[in-house]
Structure 1
Amino acid sequence: MNKYKFDVRGHLKNIIESKEESQKQIADKIGISASHLSKFLNGQEIALWMVLEIVRYLDKDNEIEIMRQCCYEATKKNIKTAFEYAHSKKLDSMTTHLIGETINGSNRELREWALVYGWQLESKYSRVYSEVEYLEKLKPLKPSSQDLKTLLLILEMLCFYYSGKFDLSLHYVEKIHDMLPEIKDPFIQKAFLSRT
């Protein structure tokens, strides 16, 4: 379901045509292959972190609007990155949309991501923060991916940090930093690092 009808690919193609650089030169500068750039411009889905690099190079001023559309178009392959992008940019309506798309789906891992991002939204607007209640919500989850395991540790670390248990939160930061190199998506890796 596309909430917006902004033609991302057409917009970016027009920018490329106005530049004095080839697609290969642009791809080399942003650190992706020319074939990935070409695939994206021709309507195929590529990793969302690559799209973000393309957008930041070609039209940084309109990044949020362009990426909002890309997040609405994200399939299972890119939902996790879309969740973290929406969270990092405080796009609560986007996070809510992604939760709605995944919370009742058949993919257990994506349902867990939806729960976790839902809890983050809930705690953001809650007037009363309960470390015990939050940690109890995290316990039943049995993440299979390194990404979600790391995110849950980040949330536990934040629970202890906001409760003034700084030594314990520092211990978690060290564990998280050890896990970050195992995360394959460069955007998620950087976003998680910034949370610590």
Structure 2
Amino acid sequence: MTGDSKDSLISALCGPEIWQWDSNGSCSISFKKDGTGLLRAGAELSIFIAAEFAWELKSSENTEDNPSFDIQITLTTRVHPYLRESRQHYTLLNEQALTSAAFQPKTYTIRLEEGRFDEPATPCVNSPPFLHRPPKFALRLSFDKSPFPPLEEWREEAKFAAEQCRFWEYKEFADKEVPRDGVLAALLHKVTG
């Protein structure tokens, strides 16, 4: 991998402030150029993972349309900066919810795509029916396996919640919401300026 292609991949991966699985941001991942990142998994008012991680680019197989690359991620017990002050409100957070196996280095193959994609949570069977068209996104980040730990890496007291949410099935994240098209969107744009 050349220095330029490595820099482009890192810029694309770290470009979005947050790669989201759902519009609420309850399940998301973000990467920083300094080799750290943030992983968050929650549902409704509960948060089970709000952890910093270390990451390292391992290799890449660049194509113009779909660059894919291998990355190593090591989840830490350090709490997401936004939740450090309120950590005491969450009894099953990070190491309280996950076994030590969840904090071992893991390698993933990731693909970055540009296009017009559904929000990853849209096809989720647990999602409520939509009264409006769900958002579309211009960027998609796909993992070969979820960055969220599999069921066997959840502590017994957190397994029920994990089984309900099935975080380990979340392998796609999106960014850059595409403006809604159509008459209603044009009207709203005209009214709101």
TM-score, with structure 2 as normaliser: 0.24
TM-score, with structure 1 as normaliser: 0.24
Structure that is richer in strand per residue: 2
Structure that is richer in helix per residue: 1
- Structure ranking higher on relative contact order (CA contacts 8 Å, 6+ apart): 2
